[in-house]
Chain A
Amino acid sequence: MSLLRVDDVYKAYGDLLVLKGVSFQMEKGDIKVIIGPSGTGKSTLLRCLNGLTSPDKGKIWIDGIEVTDPKTNINKIRPDIGFVFQNFNLFAHLTALDNVCIGLVKVKGMKKSEARVLAMEELRRVGLGEKAGAYPAEMSGGQQQRVSIARALAMNPKLILFDEPTSALDPELIGEVLKVMIDLAKGGMTMLVVSHEIGFCRAVADEILFLDEGKIIEKGHPSDLLVNPSYQRTKEFLNKIIKLYGEERDKA
């Protein structure tokens, strides 16, 4: 039984059909990256996976439980799915430590003291132990995003979804976040990432999915897809990103 299974998902916003029959699967330990032009539904797809949005048609299963089933209690599945947002979405009124703790205390019912210990571990893991008492407004974008990753990790998820985690960051801050993500990947976490960071793909991705106009046009291992894409559109898109974002950053 696969960890994640997406089956023929359709989603429209008003008249605009954003997802037109997307299907794929993920096993434990897989690292997959979704790339594609803006507005093609990559974020929408990710948000369907943890129930923030519901697809119009199609089904999604996480570890055997159907997310798209209205009878499923979504709050029970969400702790197992980590979600990292493009805009971090840290809780502005809480310190970094409390941001990481709150899920443990309120959702998992952990005691505050226990939660703090675990939270500190996660913060240290992303390299922000000294920032435990800082508020989001006092941290850089890169630091905030790392805290948000720690927040997701603290819940001990089965997989983590990343929605363009570095797109809102200043260029010099992207590296620190990618490093954390690569370490996670090497540590065996199952990750589904929407991004245009080709360097990350090259370093750890098992498969790249190219999503264009609501469909997965092509998928393949980075060493195949990046070097020799089968489809013209894939080729054009890859050329565009490399031109826009320069050669990929090496983060081994």
Chain B
Amino acid sequence: MTGFFEFARIYLPTLVEGTIVTLEMWAWCMLGGTILGLLLGLCRVYGNKPIFVLSSGYIELFRGTPMLAQILFVYFGLPEIGVLLTPVVAASIALGMNTAAYQAEYFRGAIQSIETGQVEAARSLGMTQIQAISNIVLPQALRRVIPQWSNEPILLLKYSSIAFVIGVPELMARAQMIGYSTFRFFDAFLLAALIYLILTNILAQCLHTLEKRVSVLPKSK
């Protein structure tokens, strides 16, 4: 009966392979999710009635239902209307759309916190609404959003573990496979847990540094 460290030494490579899949998935979700989230946030602040309603509905839907249900829906449900997806793609889409909904709310809050007076001043100079948004509102809003927003990348990293349910060979799935083949489930998952801990801590540290860097800018009284 090998000890925990011996066990770790043998199975770490497999877990690292899974970690790479996790990180890849995470990166794509963050990219897509942030862009979509920003768009949705803008829609909620500046959109006309139909755009506002649609984006609000989207956000309500994805924030009001469990992530697991969303993944199952995308992977098992979409093929019925002809959309066939591999597990990785399905998981990425579901996770990405989910994080976009949460990020939209953070962006909306940050955008709305920029005093409307600045937008008026920009318009008074002759800038179009789009110019005012991109030159005046967004540079400030994107800075302000960082503290709250930095929860999302970490959350997404943790929730990516759900993808194992539909067969994505990420970290969690590998741990489970090792468990099935060695019957040392606890050890396998403990190892996975430690890897997740390391990842989330590194990520948290990076985000913390980002926050520090970005808040160097003095805010207007």
Tell which of A92, A93, A138, A155 touches B125, judged by Cβ atoms closer than 8 Å. Answer: A155
Contact B115 A151 (CB under 8 A): no
Q: Is A210 an interface residue (CB 8 A)?
A: no
For window 55-89 of A, CB contacts with B under 8 Å fall at 75-79, 81-83, 85, 87, 89
- The interface residues of chain B lying within 8 Å CB-to-CB of A136 are 220-221
B4 → chain A, closest Cβ, in Å?
Answer: 52
Nearest 10 Cβ contacts at the A-B interface: A92-B220, A89-B121, A103-B125, A137-B218, A89-B117, A79-B126, A83-B124, A78-B126, A107-B126, A136-B220
Tell me, rounded to whole Å, the shortest Cβ–Cβ distance linking B12 to chain A: 46
Contact with A along B159-185 (1 / 0, CB 8 A): 000000000000000000000000000
Q: A92-B140, A137-B218 are in contact. Are A75 and B120 (CB under 8 A)?
A: no
Name 19 interchain pairs, CB-CB below 8 A, sorted by A.
Answer: A52-B120, A75-B123, A78-B126, A79-B125, A79-B126, A85-B117, A87-B115, A87-B117, A89-B117, A91-B122, A92-B118, A92-B140, A92-B219, A93-B139, A107-B125, A136-B220, A137-B218, A137-B219, A155-B126
B27 contacts partner chain A, Cβ-Cβ < 8 Å: no
Nearest residue (CB) in A for B218 is A137
The listed residue with most B CB atoms (<10 A of its CB), out of A89, A136, A151, is A89
Residue numbers in B under 8 Å from A90 (CB-CB):
118, 121, 220
User: Which of B16-24, B28-36, B63-71, B128-136 forms part of the interface with chain A?
Assistant: B128-136
Digitize B105-124: 1 where CB-to-A-CB distance is under 8 Å, 0 elsewhere.
Answer: 00000000001011011111
How far is A108 from B135 in the complex, measured between Cα atoms in Å?
A: 15
Contact of A93 among B115, B124, B131, B217 (CB under 8 A): B217
Partner among B123, B125, B219 whose Cβ is within 8 Å of the Cβ of A151: B125
Cα A50 to Cα B121 in complex, Å, equals 11
| Shortest Cβ gap from B13 to chain A (Å) | 47
Residues of B within 8 A of A (CB): 115, 117-118, 120-128, 131, 135-136, 139-140, 143, 217-221
Select which of B120, B140, B143 is within 8 A of A89 by beta carbon: B120
Q: Quick check: B139 and A75 within 8 Å, CB to CB?
A: no
Q: Give the complex CA separation of A85 and B124 in angstroms.
A: 10
- How far apart sit A75 and B129, CA to CA, in the bound complex (Å)? 9
Q: How far is the CA of A81 from the CA of B124 in the complex (A)?
A: 8
A135 within 8 A of B: yes
